[in-house]
Chain A
Amino acid sequence: DAKTTQPPSMDCAEGRAANLPCNHSTISGNEYVYWYRQIHSQGPQYIIHGLKNNETNEMASLIITEDRKSSTLILPHATLRDTAVYYCIVRVVRQGAQKLVFGQGTRLTINP
Chain B
Amino acid sequence: GAGVSQSPSNKVTEKGKDVELRCDPISGHTALYWYRQSLGQGLEFLIYFQGNSAPDKSGLPSDRFSAERTGGSVSTLTIQRTQQEDSAVYLCASRPQAKGGYTFGSGTRLTVV
Give the interface of A toward B (CB within 8 A).
2, 34, 36, 42-46, 49, 87, 96-105
Contacts and interface: CB of A to CB of B under 8 A. Distances in A.
Contacts of B43: 44, 87, 100, 102
A100 B37 CA distance: 14
Contact of A98 (B31, B42, B101): B31
Interface in B71-105: 91, 93, 101-105
Interface of B: 4, 31, 33, 35, 41-45, 48, 50, 53, 56, 59, 91, 93, 101-107
Nearest to A96: B53
Contacts of A104: 41-42
Nearest to A2: B42
The majority secondary structure among interface residues of chain A is strand
B102 A46 contact: yes
A46 B26 CA distance: 15
Contacts of B107: 43
26 contacts: A2-B42, A36-B104, A43-B105, A43-B106, A44-B43, A44-B91, A46-B103, A49-B101, A87-B42, A87-B43, A96-B53, A97-B50, A98-B48, A98-B50, A99-B33, A99-B45, A99-B48, A99-B56, A100-B93, A102-B43, A102-B44, A102-B45, A103-B42, A104-B41, A104-B42, A105-B42
A43 B91 contact: yes
Nearest to A45: B104
Contacts of A49: 101
Given A102-B42, A103-B42, A105-B42, A42 B106 contact: yes
A38 to B, nearest CB: 8
